[in-house]
């Protein structure tokens, strides 16, 4: 598989779901980039931006407060309590 | 006699306007219960993702966490009681309080001291009226709970749980809420929230699902540290949302039967008013007949 299936989930709703080429987020240890084929990972995220490069070539960016991210078999789930979608399109 | 009819007419009018109010409340509750159920559904992906992650950590590491550790000697038990802010919802709040009273009695018989945490004005006024002590209360959101409310409750109870009974906290925590089973059945339910049992629960992932061998960042115990309080909050949020849906469904039902009763009352009073009117007419006729014959006799 050469793309990531991304789910962006807030506490009260599913914000976004789709395919992406790359996801980057800020974890407690520093910036984290996920590309297809990444090893299964469960990381704690801190307040910051999540950037998603969709397969359509767009770059989406949302701001989250604390949350976590899980990767397994090219499925990426970003979970945050609150997601600020003001800078989000689509 | 004329006064009698007027009394009935007035009663019909006042019951009619009460009926209008209860009918409006019924319709409002009906439309909001649909939304409330939708909120329950919308919060599921979050709960699901969280449960999956927590069970992943629990499966692949043997880290002990204070939130999952059973305490050998439980002295104080916390009980979160979820009721509504407003009345006119039938037995909704009462049955939740009753369920909690049973639980409290059981905990007390086990020799535990009970610390109540109250959600909703109905529970607060119940405790205040009886001059009973409670640890904390949250009100003003029960028919549309926000995640912030759940977080606030979660922070307080996990804080108290971690502090333990020696420092005025609790050793275990139960939640009493009303599970929304369907539009007609809502069930007061008791769940032990802390210490956590992760595998248990309706949101647990399917058993045939194989969890991959995760890498943890920064490490398993810190991931667990971050996840477990969120898990508690998410469970509380779900309980709040279900309670809200149950509250609205109960209100809809209560208002529906109030409207039906009002209709019944109007029918009864209309019959009585008709009867009174007829009696008046009959009396007038007999008075006229009586008067006429008296005149005829006098001649």
Is B236 near chain A, with CB under 8 Å? no
Q: Considering the domain boundaries, does residue B283 fall inside one?
A: no
Q: Considering the domain boundaries, does residue A31 fall inside one?
A: yes
- A&B contacts, CB < 8 Å: 83
Q: What is the pLDDT of residues B178-215, one digit of tens each?
A: 999 988 899 999 999 888 875 544 444 555 556 667 88
What is the rounded average pLDDT of the residues B255-260? 96
b/e B31-57 (16+ beta carbons within 10 angstroms → b): ebbeebbebbebbbbbbbbbbbbbbbb
Provide the residue range defining the domain that includes A31: 4-84
Is A11 within 8 Å of B234 when comparing Cβ atoms?
A: yes
Q: Considering the domain boundaries, does residue A23 fall inside one?
A: yes
| Dist CA B64 CA B61 (whole Å) | 9
What is the rounded average pLDDT of the residues B242-246? 95
Task: Residue A32: give its domain's CATH number.
Answer: 2.60.15.10
C-alpha to C-alpha distances, B288 to A26, A73, B1, B293, nearest whole angstrom: 98, 99, 16, 9
The residue with greater pLDDT, A18 or B63, is A18
* Of A10, A28, A44, Cβ closest to residue B46: A10
Q: Considering the domain boundaries, does residue B269 fall inside one?
A: no
Q: Considering the domain boundaries, does residue A9 fall inside one?
A: yes
Is A41 near chain B, with CB under 8 Å? yes
What is the rounded average pLDDT of the residues B34-56? 89
Is B227 near chain A, with CB under 8 Å? yes
Task: Residue B154: give its domain's CATH number.
Answer: 3.40.1380.10
Q: Considering the domain boundaries, does residue A90 fall inside one?
A: no
ipTM above 0.90, yes or no: no
Is A68 within 8 Å of B147 when comparing Cβ atoms?
A: no
* Of B57, B217, B237, Cβ closest to residue A11: B237
- Pair A56, A12: CB distance under 8 Å: no
pLDDT at B129: 96
What is the rounded average pLDDT of the residues B83-97? 93
Residue A73 with chain B: CB contacts under 8 Å: 212
Residue B46 with chain A: CB contacts under 8 Å: 9-12, 79
CA–CA min distance A79, chain B (Å): 7
Beta strands in chain A (DSSP E): 4-10, 13-27, 30-34, 41-45, 48-54, 59-64, 67-72, 75-80, 83-84
Q: Considering the domain boundaries, does residue A89 fall inside one?
A: no
Name the one residue in this structure whose structure tokens are 């779901």.
A17
| Dist CA B124 CA B120 (whole Å) | 7
Instruction: Indicate if the pLDDT at residue B94 is higher than 70.
Output: yes
Provide the residue range defining the domain that includes B55: 29-205+220-253
Count of the separate structural domains present in chain A: 1
Most confident of A11-25, A26-40, B65-79, B275-289: B275-289
Q: What is the pLDDT of residues A32-67, one digit of tens each?
A: 899 998 888 888 998 888 888 888 888 888 888 888
3-state secondary structure of B204: coil
Task: Identify the band that residue B48 occupies on the pLDDT scale cut at 50, 70 and 90.
Answer: confident
Adjacent-strand bridge partners of A53: A22, A59
pLDDT at A89: 60
- Residue window 12-31, chain A: list those with CB within 8 Å of chain B: 12-14, 27-29
pLDDT at A16: 87
Residue A70 with chain B: CB contacts under 8 Å: 49, 52-53, 56, 214
> What does the mean pLDDT of chain B come to?
89
3-state secondary structure A14-33: EEEEEEEEEEEEEECCEEEE
Q: Considering the domain boundaries, does residue B125 fall inside one?
A: yes
pLDDT at B209: 57
| Dist CA B250 CA A55 (whole Å) | 47
C-alpha to C-alpha distances, B70 to A33, B80, B162, B173, B274, nearest whole angstrom: 38, 19, 12, 11, 71
Lowest-pLDDT choice from B4-8, B23-27, B51-55, B141-145: B51-55
What is the rounded average pLDDT of the residues B85-110? 93
Is B46 near chain A, with CB under 8 Å? yes
pLDDT at B203: 44
Residue B60 with chain A: CB contacts under 8 Å: none
Q: Considering the domain boundaries, does residue B262 fall inside one?
A: no
């Amino acid at each position: 598989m050469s793309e990531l299936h991304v789910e962006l989930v807030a506490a009260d709703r599913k914000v976004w779901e789709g395919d992406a080429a790359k996801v980057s987020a800020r974890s407690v240890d520093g910036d984290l980039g996920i590309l297809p084929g990444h090893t299964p990972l469960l990381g704690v995220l801190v307040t910051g931006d999540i950037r998603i490069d969709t397969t359509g070539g767009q770059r989406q960016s949302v701001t989250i407060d604390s949350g976590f991210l899980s990767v397994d078999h090219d499925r990426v789930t970003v979970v945050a309590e609150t997601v600020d979608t003001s800078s989000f399109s689509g | 006699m004329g006064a009698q009819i007027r009394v009935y007419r007035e009663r019909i009018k006042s019951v009619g306007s009460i009926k209008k109010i209860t009918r409006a409340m019924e319709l409002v509750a009906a439309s909001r219960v649909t939304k409330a159920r939708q909120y329950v559904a919308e919060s599921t992906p979050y709960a699901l993702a969280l449960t999956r992650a927590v069970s992943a950590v629990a499966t692949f590491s043997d880290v002990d966490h204070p939130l999952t550790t059973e305490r050998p000697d439980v002295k104080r038990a916390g009980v979160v009681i979820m009721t509504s802010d407003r009345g006119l919802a039938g037995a909704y709040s009462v049955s939740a309080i009753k369920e909690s009273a049973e639980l409290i009695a059981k905990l007390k018989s086990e020799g535990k001291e009970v610390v109540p945490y109250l959600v909703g004005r109905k529970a607060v006024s119940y405790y205040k009226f009886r001059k009973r002590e409670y640890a904390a209360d949250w009100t003003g959101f029960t028919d549309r709970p926000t995640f912030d409310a759940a977080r606030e409750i979660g922070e307080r109870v996990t804080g108290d749980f971690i502090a333990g009974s020696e420092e005025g906290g609790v050793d275990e925590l139960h939640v009493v809420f009303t599970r929304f089973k369907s539009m007609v059945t809502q069930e007061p339910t008791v769940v032990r929230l802390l210490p956590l049992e992760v595998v248990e629960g309706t949101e647990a992932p399917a058993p045939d699902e194989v969890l991959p061998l995760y890498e943890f960042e920064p490490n398993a115990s810190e991931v667990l540290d971050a996840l477990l309080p969120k898990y508690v909050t998410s469970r509380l949020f779900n309980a709040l949302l279900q309670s809200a849906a149950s509250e609205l469904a109960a209100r809809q039902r209560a208002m529906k039967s109030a409207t039906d009763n009002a209709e019944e009352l109007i029918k009864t009073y209309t019959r009585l008013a008709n009867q009174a009117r007829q009696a008046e007419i009959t009396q007038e006729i007999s008075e006229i007949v009586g008067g006429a014959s008296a005149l005829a006799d006098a001649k």
